[in-house]
Structure formats: structure tokens, C-alpha cells
A and B are shown apart, each in its own frame.
Chain A
Amino acid sequence: MKKFLALILALVMVLSFAACGNEETPNGNDDSEVLTNENIKIGFVHVSDPSDMGYTYNHDLGTWKMAENLGISEDQIINKYNIGEDEGCATAIEELVEAGCDIIFATSFGHGDYMTEAAANHPEIQFCHATGAQAAGSGLSNYHNYFTSIYEARYIAGVAAGLKLNELIANGTITEDEAVIGYVAAFYFEEVISGFSAFYLGARSVCPSATMITLKADSWSDPVKEGQIAQSLIDQGAVLISQHSDNTSPATTAEAAGLFHCGYNSDMSEAAPKASIISARADWSIYLTYAVQCVLDGEEIVTDWCEGYAEGANFTSPLNEAVAAPGTAEKLEEVANGIKDGSVHVFAGPWSGYYVWDNTPFECAEGEWVEESETQSAPYFGYIIDGITRLDA
């Protein structure tokens, strides 16, 4: 009986492969009328929803600012929230195509593979993927990557963190050796490494004895785990927490422990007024406005877009004076001016480290620096600097 069943099953399969061809389904986006700010439709695929008060919240702010800039109404924008980095992403993109979107943005790194496929299948629609790096290699003219050089704002936030550590050392709360920063990392790859290295170098530029320990959450957005990791870092000696993850739980965990914090994406001093010193933020509206304007004007969107601190694409939230060390504001202004005029390089030597994927040692001498975001918009700084310890690597 079983053999018979297996045989039938195999037969049916072979037959049905032979019988069916691959039909392309046409999409409903064939209207030939001219695009204006009154009929353009814009789709977004978000990895979480704005209730994270972090990454998606901040990207969403950019969306509404772009809509205001261009006079686009709310019902022309379709947001798909809580779309994971899996097959659900393909469905979400297809639904946006079906809804008639002329341009589709996806915000998370892991959406990249699905964006690449969708861009190939729908050449008449523009696809823009934040943090990704596949557009240039795909050779598709309707596929683009964007990011801001957020490492600049992180460096500035790092300086504020270093000054805080100096204050703690000066008033005897900790010794020089106890100036340990704890960093909640989402994953270990270039985007995250670039971020924590910039933050660390910023802190070390003012507090030479600073060291950093990191743990990864294996998720961009997991409020519970992010908080647990922050606690674990604190238990292992961290006195200041920073993060590359989407939620405010690391900030509130630091506050509950009576320690300090530097945030990402949103002004986290609202969630943790006694802990959060400053946050590195991106202003996504600059790119979104640019990209949508290009579609309206019928112009090409650049394949790799990356603007930085000087253009306002990234910035730091207002300094929380109640927590920051005295004199921080002046120092930050000096550093920020240096970044704007190009005299301060974030990844400047001297530092030594190793390349994350093959452990090759790397030395960056005094007076040299590693350039970031020149060849593509997604970060590609992949060195683990000595002084940073990945506890789980």
C-alpha cells in the first residue's frame, strides 16, 4: 500500500511539473496618467511599528515630514508595519504593488532579498531600501539604497558618553579601569559594527581608559531581550549603556540601575530622563523627500544615497543637561563643527583591531583614518577595535 501511495505521489508531482508553465501575473499599475503629488501612492515596509519609540518611530516621523514637504495626503501613503525579514516581506511588497504604489520603501536590512526580487519583477515601480547594499550589484535602474552616515552622530554621542565617564572618574564613583561602556547590539555585521566603533572612538577621544563590552540580541526589535542584555552588561561592569536596537528598554534598564545611557533613533531622554544623556538620530525625511520628488519629476534616483551630519541627515537629540557632565555642550559643538568642516574623522587612528569576518589584524596609524560610506550608502566598516570586547563572539 505504502509503495503504491509513494508511486502515485511521485507520478502526480512529475506530471504537474510538466503541465504548468510559469505565468507572469500582470499588476494593476498600468495607469498612464501623469504622476502628481495628488495621485502618487507611496508604500512603506517597516520591520516593527512606531510603538517601538525607536527606529520605526523615527523613520515614520520622516514619512510624515516628507508628506508635509510635498503636499501629499495621508491616504496616499500605505504603511505595512511589523513585517519580518522573511517570506511575509514578499507578500507585503506584493500587496503594496497591488495597491498601486509608485514607489516602495523598505526599512530593514533583511528586507533586501525580497526588494531585489520585487524590483526585478516590477520595473515600472521604484524600490528604495534603507541600510541595504544590493542595489548597485543588481544592475536594476529602479532599485536604490539609502542610509545616513549615522556614525557621525554616534561619534558625537560617544564624546558625551566619554565626558560622563570622566566625570564619574573625577568624583571617585569609578576608577579609570572601571570606565566600561555596555553596548546592546542587534547583530554583528558592518552596520552595527560601524555604529559601535564610532561611538567607542568618540568616547575614547576624551576618556582614554574607556573600554566597551557588547552582547547581541539577534533581533532588531525585541524589547524584552534588549532590556535583559542591558542588565547583563550592567552586571558585568558596564556603567554606561548605548544601543543599536529599536526599543527604549536599554535606556529604562540603565535608569533603573542608576546608571547612564546614550540612545539611538529617538530622543530617549523622555523614556529615561535620569539616565539618557543624548541620542544619535537620523532625519529620514531628507531622503524620502528627495526620492519621492524624483519620481514626481520623472528623474532617476541615485543608486546609493548617503548624506551626513553636515546636510542634517543625521543629528543628535538635545543634550540632557541634567545628566550630562558639565562642559559637554561646548565640547560637542566643537566636535560637531569639526565633523562638518571635515577636520574631525570618525575612524581616525591610532587604533588597532581585526577584521570581523576573518580575524585579519589591522592597524590604523596616527594621522590616518578609514573612510566610511564612500563606495556605497550602507556602512562597511567591519573592524573590531582593540578595547571593544564582544562577550558573545
Chain B
Amino acid sequence: MISENTKKEPLVRIAKRAELSPKKAALVRFSSIIVALLIGGLLILALGYNPISVYGGIIEGSLLTPTALKATAKIAVPLLGAALAIAPAFRMKFWNCGAEGQITVGAIASTYFALYHVGDLPAPVFFVVTFIVSAIFGGLWGLIPAFFKARWGTNETLFTLMLNYIAIGFVKYLRIGPWMDKGQMFPKVPMFDRAARLPDVFGVHIGWIIVLLLVVFTYIYMTRTKHGYEIAVVGESVSTARYSGMNVAKIIMRTMFISGAVAGIVGWMLALGTNYTLSDTTANGYGFTAIVVAWLAKLNPFVMVLISAFLAVLQKGSNSIQTNFGIPASASEVLTGLILLCMLGSEFFINYRFVFRKKSVGGDD
């Protein structure tokens, strides 16, 4: 008979850890960033630059001048918004990879009003109307995959991903077709009238206040409301939810509408607050980077604030080092990727540990 103990134990195996103390977990996370910076430093050295001045350049180019700080905030705000958007869906284990498209659809809706109805409404009403319309359209775009999932059990990851391409393809059509700037001889949507641009508060469009409010609302919604509880139950076990009498289909669709609506609001602020026009890159990858933010924050809205600010510093900073040091764009992307990889990797070491085969445990040798 072959029993368990006659099998040779592997040299290394991976075992689930008991819960790490918060102090230790923080230490692991901190050291992962140090490791990332060290590896990144080697990369920078290999490219022939001084790592310390390049890292200094990241900080300076993202935080130390007023324009840089504002530009960093303009990255952090939509990133945080997009992470908040996908949080309820992810809690429900509905993998919404379609925030990019939902943002784009929200931006399309705002753009329609900014191009054709800007003079018709007083400014505050205009912004409230566009805000609501963007949320509704983003929500409906999110509702499509939820409906199919609830009805026929389709794979939401693929479905939401593919809807991104449709939304962005539609922008292309609008840009080259009906919404093209006729005065420009170049296929692009015109810049919006000044009246259609979100006002600034402390130099950054008003969207940042809305996103910070959303942080609080999302926290309350997910932890203190019946809806939030239902989302968590569906996420843990659909069967349990059904057994306890919840309408799972309704919860999935409702949550995805909300998820898409928040993404639509992000599209609203990107179109009216940042880009002042609509382009294929309006969503700018925020919908995807938001997945990283949401994961690293473990869906905690308050932690998301920190993570999105950190990633924004990295993104803006790596843009500046391309400029100031002439480091190729691809190399600074590698650097950002390394840091993210180490941060995600540290989560592995917090949850698992390596167990090495002990020497002569006795028995079969």
C-alpha cells in the first residue's frame, strides 16, 4: 500500500500562513517596496543613470512643483474613482474588467451635452444634468454583462472586457464621423467651450471633492447597508444567498448598475474636468489600473485613497523622468511594473510561506 508517508516530501512546498500580525504584515509590505526600489535601481544603473537622482526626479516631477502636484492629483482622482466603482462588483466576486468602457460611455454622454447643449442650461444645472446622465449611461453599460450573467451565466470577465473595445470603437466612429471638429482638418472631437468645463477648486477640477465623498459613501454602502450585506453574501456563496431568500439576479444587476454608474461619473470628470474633449484615450487605462488599486487595498475605500495616490505619483513621476533624464518610455514602464510586481508579490508572502524539507525526519531513509 502506498500511504501518505511513503511519498517523498518535496524540497520546498507552499503552505498557508496563520494570520500575520499587522505589524509583521506592514513590515513585509514595506520591505517589498525597498526590494522593488533596489531592483529598479539596478535597472537604472544598467541604463547609465544615477538611481538616486532618478528617484529624486520621480518625487520632484510628481509632487514638488505646483503644476506637477496638480497633474498628479488629476491622475489620482479618476484612478480612485474607478477603484471605488469596481469595489462593490469585486466584493460580489463579479469581475468587472469593464470600468474602462463604462468610463468611456460616461464620457461620451457628457460630451454630447458639452458639444450640443452647453449654452442651454445655467452652469450648475448643466453639470448636475451631465453628472446624472453620465452615471446612468455608465450604469447601463455595466448592466449589460450583469443581465447576461444573471440570466444565462455568461463569463463576466470576457464580457466586460469586450464591451470596452466596443465603447472605445464607438468613440473612434464619433471622432472620425459625426462629432469631428470640422474646422480642424484632423479627425478629432473639438475642445469644449469654457462653459462646459468643470470649475477648479485649489487648482484641480471639482471631481476630487466628489471622489472623496464617494469614498465615504462607498464605505458606508458596503459595510453598513442591507445592500452591502447582500453583496457580501452573494460574493461568498450564491447558494447561501439563494437559500436565505435573496434575489441573486436582482442583486447582481443592481450592483453592476451602481458600479457602472460610478465609472460613468469618472468619465464625466475626465471629459469635462481634465481632457475638455473626447478621445480614444479618455479613459486612459484607469479602468484597468483601478483593478490593481482595488486589490492592493483589499477593497477598503480608505486604503484605496493611499494606493491611488501612490500609483499616481509613480505614473506622473515616471513621465517626468522620461522627459528630464531622457529615459525611454518603455524603461520607465518597466520600473513602474517592477514596483507593482513586488507590492503584489508581498501579498503572497503575507498569506503563504515556504516550508523546506527537514533533514532526516526519520522513517523511510
Contact = CB atoms under 8 A, between A and B. Distances in A.
Interface string B276-295: 11010100100000000000
Contacts of A98: 65-67
A20 B208 CA distance: 14
B128 A13 contact: yes
Contact of A80 (B199, B276, B323): B323
Contact of B127 (A17, A80, A189): A17
- For this complex, into which size category does the number of interface residues on chain B fall? 35 or more
Interface residues of A, number: 44
A17 B71 contact: no
B112 to A, nearest CB: 19
Given A16-B201, A49-B326, A82-B322, A95 B68 contact: yes
Interface stretch (B25-33, B48-56, B182-190): B182-190
Contacts of B221: 1, 5
A87 B275 contact: yes
B199 A20 contact: yes
A91 B188 contact: no
B200 A81 contact: no
B63 interface: no
B346 interface: no
Contacts of B227: 1
B210 interface: yes
Nearest to B322: A82
A25 B66 contact: yes
A307 interface: no
B123 interface: yes
Contacts of A51: 328
Contacts of B284: 86
A207 B150 CA distance: 64
A334 B281 CA distance: 47
B314 to A, nearest CB: 15
A81 B277 contact: no
B328 A49 contact: yes
Interface string A373-388: 0000000101000000
Contacts of A190: 185
Contacts of A87: 74, 274-276
Nearest to B135: A6
A34 interface: no
Contacts of B326: 49, 79, 81
Interface in A1-50: 1, 5, 8-10, 12-14, 16-18, 20, 22-23, 25, 49
Contacts, number: 100
Interface string A47-71: 0010100000000000000000000
Contacts of A1: 221, 225, 227
A88 interface: yes
A380 B279 CA distance: 24
Given A5-B217, A86-B275, A20 B185 contact: no
Given A87-B275, A94-B67, A17 B123 contact: yes
A150 to B, nearest CB: 17
Contacts of A88: 319
Nearest to B224: A1
A133 interface: yes
B323 A9 contact: no
Given A84-B281, A87-B275, A113-B277, A20 B67 contact: no
A292 to B, nearest CB: 20
Interface in B114-172: 123-124, 127-128, 131
A237 interface: no
Given A82-B323, A110-B188, A91 B210 contact: no
Contact of A49 (B185, B225, B279, B329): B329
Given A1-B225, A86-B279, A79 B186 contact: no
A110 B322 contact: no
Contacts of B329: 49, 81-82
B209 interface: yes
B206 A13 contact: yes
A95 B323 CA distance: 11
B191 interface: yes
Contacts of B188: 110
A14 B124 contact: yes
Contacts of B70: 91
A166 to B, nearest CB: 35
B209 A16 contact: yes
A80 B316 CA distance: 13
A92 interface: yes
A189 B210 contact: no
Interface string A88-113: 10011011011000000000011011
Contacts of A133: 185
Contact of A12 (B65, B200, B209): B209
Nearest to B227: A1
Nearest to A1: B225
Nearest to B198: A17
B128 A10 contact: yes
A22 B199 contact: yes
A109 B123 contact: no
B317 to A, nearest CB: 13
Given A51-B328, A189-B185, A17 B281 contact: no
Contacts of B209: 12, 16
B284 to A, nearest CB: 8
A369 interface: no
A354 interface: no
B365 to A, nearest CB: 56
Interface string B307-335: 00000000000010011001011000000
B203 interface: yes
B275 A16 contact: no
A187 interface: yes
A83 B71 CA distance: 14
10 contacts: A9-B217, A16-B199, A25-B203, A79-B326, A87-B274, A88-B319, A91-B70, A97-B67, A189-B185, A380-B185
Interface of B: 65-68, 70-71, 74, 123-124, 127-128, 131, 184-188, 191, 199-201, 203, 206, 209-210, 213, 217, 221, 225, 227, 274-277, 279, 281, 284, 319, 322-323, 326, 328-329
Interface of A: 1, 5, 8-10, 12-14, 16-18, 20, 22-23, 25, 49, 51, 79-84, 86-88, 91-92, 94-95, 97-98, 109-110, 112-113, 117, 133, 187, 189-190, 357, 380, 382
> 6 closest A-B pairs (Cβ-Cβ)?
A91-B71, A94-B67, A80-B323, A17-B124, A82-B329, A14-B124
